[in-house]
A and B are shown apart, each in its own frame.
Chain A
Amino acid sequence: MNFLERQLEDPICFARIKRWFYISLVVIALVEGLVLLAPIALPKLFPHEEHHRFWFESIPAFGSLYGLVSCVAIIVISKFLGKVWLMRREDHYDS
């Protein structure tokens, strides 16, 4: 039984992993939101920061938000296209 197996098979360990995952999501989103202020507060420490080119880049934690929206949109739209049009039986080309 290797390390990963111990972590995933044990329900207590798995619940702990899940909790850490959610905590890290919150931390990442918070940090991303705060980073907007960094070049303004400490310009000398971050000389290479890119200037904002689009309006949406000044929304706090836009990357996190857009990641979630993209992921859901990709799954929903692709599955919809697959169901109504693209997906066929595996022997579609054999008959």
Chain B
Amino acid sequence: MILDALNISWLHPGLVLILGAWILPLLRGWARRALMVAIPAVAVVICLGMTKGTYGEVSFLGLEVVFGRVDQLSLIFSYVFSIMALLGMIYALHVEHNSQHVTALIYAGGALGVTFSGDFISLYVFWELMAISSALLVWQSREPGAGRAGFRYLLVHIVGGLILLAGIVLYGSENNNSFAFGNMAALEHTAAWWLILLAFLINAAVPPLGAWLPDAYPEASVTSAVFMTAFTTKSAVYVLIRGFPGTELLVWLGAAMAVYGVVYAVLENDARRLLAYHIISQVGYMVCAVGIGTALALNGAAAHAFAHILYKALLFMGAGAVIQMTGRRKLREMGGLYKTMPITLTLYMIGAFAISAVPLFSGFVSKSMIVSAAGEQHLMWIFLTLTLASAGTFLHTGLKLPYYMFFGKDSGLQGKEPPTNMLVAMGLAAAACVAIGIFPSLLYQHLPFAADYVPYTLQHVTSTLGMLAFTALGFFLLLKHLDPEPKISLDTDWFYRRGSLIFVKLFQKPLARFESDSMGKVCDVVMRRFVLGTGGLLRNFDTHVVDFAVVGVGRLTQVLSRILRTTMSGNTQHYALMMAAGVLAVLTLAMIVR
């Protein structure tokens, strides 16, 4: 209505976040805190009130750029991205660093920009904006580890961005200079298709390209990490749904990814790194669903992204609250906190039940769509792998992490409940997880494709409960083997953290020898024989030919002048004789020439 009054047909919610962020540093106290909530709240209202259509079409250097493609798919992602920005800002309300809030809002704005992009040009701009703002967000934590992790994070995303750019350029040239972004099936297996897919997979943290995620997220500050869990991987899921539905490769990558995160979570000691590995596992379900590509599977990917953003943010908020209040991040150093942080424990467990797909929580109604879609396509191994990963999810997020954090051996840590704003944000996220679980139609009515699905069937509920209960049994039976160890696990980031150093060491010596031996000799020959030789020749030419000529001309002029001077006697008869001789000479010349 306000927009109608201002005569603006469409306002980009991402722009509201990106521009609104810059007002924050100008304000103080309650005004600043009010605006921190108001900016993302406005974005939520704009997204909820949006009608489908194409807006914000701009012609730029002869290219059609579309900033506002609003359809059911972009709408559902925009809802959850803007709601997430709101929850994240409430959680960070007590933080005084304005720079963190500005970068967080720009990051969220970038994600909304990607969501509404109708073409690759605007997509690329917002993609890079997300990469840079999220790296800045990692750096907001002033710990030394965060600085290095931020550089590694930026390195990976700059490479990903360049791969995307290369793909886009090729896409444009193969597509008659049209950069419209839609289903890429027409270009399947061309270079452009591979490059763009590769860039999307890097952001979706698909192994072996996903080590940046558990490397960087636990290093970010408690409040920044909450933002990071939501936007990069889920915007990648969005563009995969948009561009690559039904790509078979993704089925296998996604299933492998779901298990990969689970394996690393067993070994992990850092609380938020364990949760980060479970982001990879959960995004694996979505990537797998994109690969399956049926209407039910794609709905499942969108629904799971929606539910996942909320419960994963809740889990990071809960773990972050413990880290903030105790100053510890390793599970080994925690324990017994249920006595002093019961509210945090309760809210965390709601998130844990949601990610574990316990009936009546959000994960149950979203994840089961994907597993059922695998069943409908008779993908037996995918079905079994995804179910196994579900057991692993409950094992770690629902049992291991809360056990060692809140129960287990009492560490004697005296935690307190976190500030009210953090509890409010967690409470809102928890309420959303429960509401979606109890009333799945709240989520289902916004799904992009036409596919009916009923999650609460007798068999589905009982088999899920059985699976979870007996996972718990396995956990308690093997509990003593699960104690977190003070170790870190090798991941593919080894290649750029250690591998590159070894590469340098390996090549330093041979390179030095090559430099002194071969290159030295080549230089010797080239320099002394050819360059110096040619120089000598040129110098000789200069002294003997050029100088001689110049000096010769000078001498000649001198001699001629001397002769000329002798003729200048001042005697009129001499002048007359010379004139006569001159005339005679001219006449003779004229006669000879004739």
Contacts and interface: CB of A to CB of B under 8 A. Distances in A.
B498 A66 contact: no
A15 interface: no
A90 B488 contact: yes
Contact of B469 (A24, A49, A85, A88): A24
Interface in A24-83: 24-25, 28-29, 31-32, 35-36, 38-39, 46, 48-50, 53-54, 61-68, 70-75, 77-79, 81-82
Interface stretch (B79-87, B160-168, B244-252, B479-487): B479-487
Interface in B412-435: none
Interface stretch (B7-15, B45-53, B261-269, B285-293): B261-269
B332 to A, nearest CB: 11
Contacts of B391: 66-67, 70-71, 74
Say whether chain A's binding surface is mostly helix, strand, loop, or mixed.
helix
B514 interface: no
A4 B267 contact: no
Contact of B266 (A8, A24, A53, A79): A79
A28 B359 CA distance: 14
Given A2-B342, A50-B372, A78 B459 contact: no
Interface stretch (B55-63, B116-124, B172-180, B470-478): B470-478
Interface size class of A (residues with CB under 8 A): 35 or more
Contacts of B263: 74, 77-78, 81
Interface of B: 262-264, 266-267, 338-339, 342, 372, 375-376, 378, 380, 383-384, 387-388, 391-392, 395, 407, 454, 457-460, 462-475, 477-478, 481-482, 485-490, 497-498
29 contacts: A2-B342, A4-B342, A25-B469, A29-B469, A35-B458, A35-B462, A38-B459, A48-B454, A50-B372, A50-B459, A53-B376, A64-B467, A64-B469, A67-B474, A68-B470, A70-B388, A71-B391, A71-B470, A74-B392, A75-B478, A75-B482, A78-B264, A79-B266, A79-B267, A79-B481, A82-B266, A82-B487, A86-B267, A90-B488
Interface of A: 2, 4-5, 8, 21, 24-25, 28-29, 31-32, 35-36, 38-39, 46, 48-50, 53-54, 61-68, 70-75, 77-79, 81-82, 85-90, 92-93
* Shortest Cβ-Cβ A-B pairs, 10 listed: A63-B463, A71-B474, A64-B466, A67-B467, A78-B266, A70-B391, A67-B470, A63-B466, A68-B470, A87-B487
